[in-house]
Structure formats: structure tokens, C-alpha cells
Amino acid sequence: MKRTYDKRKIQAALEQTGLNQCLKTIDPGIMICDYAPGELVISPLKPSQNILFLLEGDASVYILDDNGTMLVAARERPGGMIGDPELFLENYQSVYVEARTGFRVLALPYELCLREIRINERFTHFLIRQILLREGRKREIDYTGDTREKVLFYIRNICPNQCTPNITGIADTVHCSYRQVQRIVSDLCEEGILVRIGKGKYRLN
């Protein structure tokens, strides 16, 4: 993980996330963190010390079931936020968050966040809105019909420019197997609903 404290880059990241509109103080502990593909961002042995606002790349969120099997629980992309449960919930058992691509986040130390929450209503509302948006995205997919409908919903409403990053990303998000998504995507291409635009990448036609 590479840390950056460059003030100009941090200011640009604050503007990208919208945090520049609601922070009262710019703490010197704010930083930009870059993770390599496959690197763990958060884990039970490496709990977050910051709320992380996603700037670039994507990551998978894993949980362990009772048998110790690792299951994909979510997919995180730019505009999202992670690390907040550890701030609000005492003894929270952190999930695994793994960078799937080069992954960049803006990190706000918990101490700063707690201070802002106590004095800054706009910041508190910003965090609540981010949490509700994240939960809303999960519910939209979970409540959308069968797997084929979930795949289409994900591409149509969540993928940037209605283009899939890769089939693995779809499978992670809609909670089904890679092969199942591959079959659905193949059928959608034959029907002219999707168009292949690269290796493992598809666009809504």
C-alpha cells in the first residue's frame, strides 16, 4: 500500500467525493492510499483505522461462513465507502476487502470523523447518505427477479456507461457462479441485448 499526502491531490479527491462541501477541518492525517491488485485493504487481522472513500478501481468484499469458506458479499466501486462499520460498531468483526484492480481510496482517520460528527451536521448527513445509497444498491439487486434479470439490472443501472468490467464482477455482485453468468451473458449476446467489446467485457446494446 502506498500513502500520498500531497495537498493538491487530496484537495482534488475531496472535490471528487463531495467531501470538500461538508468538512470543517482538513486534518493532516487525511491521505490517499493506493493498493495493488490482490492486496488486502481491510481484514479481521487488519481492521480499518479510517473511513475509506473509493476513488478508482474496484474491490471485492468477502465474508467467512461457519465452515471457513470465503464468500463474496459485495463489490465496491468508485463513489462507495468502506470502513464505516468499524467506526460505529464496537468490536465489529471486520470483513475482508481485497483490491481486484489497482485500487485508490481517500482515507479519513476515525479521530477526524468522530470530531466532525460531534460538531458538523453536514458531515453526519453525508455519511448517512453514503450508507443508505450503499444499502439501496444492494437491495435493488437482491430484490430483482431471477439471475438473468439481476444481471441485466446490474449492467443497465449500476455499471458505468452500461459496460461490464468483467464477468467475475457481475458474478460477485449478483451472488451466483461465474459459469452461470457466462451462460446468461452468452444468451444475451445471441439475442442482441449485449455486445462484446473486449475480453470478458460487454456493453448493453
Instruction: List CB contacts of 60: < 8 A, sequence separation 6 or more.
Output: 72, 74, 75, 76, 97, 98, 100, 172
Query: Residue 26 has what pLDDT?
Result: 77
Query: Residue 76 has what pLDDT?
Result: 80
Classify 144 as helix, strand or coil.
coil
Backbone φ, ψ for residue 8 (5° rounding): -65, -40
Q: Which positions of the chain have pLDDT values less than 50?
A: none
CATH homologous superfamily, domain 2-135: Jelly Rolls (2.60.120.10)
CATH number of 147-204: 1.10.10.10
Q: Supply the mean pLDDT for the chain.
A: 86
Domain layout of the chain by residue ranges? 2-135, 147-204
Query: Residue 53 has what pLDDT?
Result: 96
Classify 67 as helix, strand or coil.
coil
Please give the model's pTM, rounded to 2 decimal places.
0.72
pLDDT tens digits along 45-89: 888 899 999 999 988 888 776 676 666 667 788 888 999 988 888
Query: Residue 19 has what pLDDT?
Result: 94
